[in-house]
Amino acid sequence: MNQPTSTPTRSPTQSSPRVLVTTHAQAEALLEEPNQDILGAIMEGHFSASEIAKNIKKPLKTVLYRLERLLSVGLVLQEGERKRSGRAVKLYQLSSEQGWDIPFSLTPAHTARELVSGQLRPRMNHFFDVTGDHLARSDLTIRISKGEQNQITINISSPEQRGNNVGSFSSLRLDSEKAKEIAQELRELLQKYQALEETGNLEGYMLGIFFAQDTQT
């Protein structure tokens, strides 16, 4: 059943507030990875469907289909046109400059684990794929070592590694104050690199940070 497009509700933040999602249709559309690719492509302005397709390397037909859905639930707006070769080309932009907040009750997930897994698993699988592509199997090393807190650290690398890929996992034992300090440092580090504005011949990179309390450690 189609959900009606809602009037955006501002989240209670001080500046450039995010929009609070109010319908199941909006929540489902935002949580679908193909839609997230399109939303990310138009985060910084007005773009045509062909520009979006080129940016995310998807067929134009697919992008147009996704845009129609995002338009129907009010997540994307058609704002103006641009002349190209004598014809008008539609331009699209986000309905929220700073993104959206989605209440868990509006998601299709039954548990928090299901929601987190559904969002992170495709990205982790993609990370495994691209990392494997850049490692030379003939000289691959899996390093398992002991850290200062007697924890095990796992690092996979190759002297012939192509690209600048980093992947390392470890467990830590921390008090609550130190855990809060590390979590804040990681948030700031992520924000620092998300704010980079590079120009020129650029390559795509994945950036993800995981830090969670482990009750099994």
pLDDT tens, position by position, 115-142? 999 999 988 898 888 777 766 565 666 6
Question: Average per-residue pLDDT in the chain?
Answer: 82
What is the reported pLDDT for 58? Answer: 94
Q: Could you tell me where the DSSP H helices lie in 32-94?
A: 33-41, 49-56, 60-72
CA distance 107 to 23: 9
Query: Of 98 and 112, which is predicted with more confidence?
Result: 112
Cα dist from 34 to 6, 15, 57, 74, 123, whole Å: 22, 29, 12, 17, 12
User: At CA 207, angle to CA 203 and CA 210, rounded to 5?
Assistant: 170
pLDDT tens digits, 135-193: 656 566 667 776 666 566 666 666 655 556 566 777 888 999 999 999 999 999 988 98
Distance of alpha carbon 90 from alpha carbon 82, whole angstroms: 7
Domains delineated in the chain: 9-106 (1.10.10.10), 109-171 (no CATH)
Per-residue pLDDT at 97: 84
Cα–Cα dist 26/106, whole Å: 9
**3-state SS, residue 54:** helix
Q: What is the DSSP letter of 108?
A: S
| DSSP-based three-state secondary structure for 19 | strand
Question: What pLDDT sits at residue 12?
Answer: 43
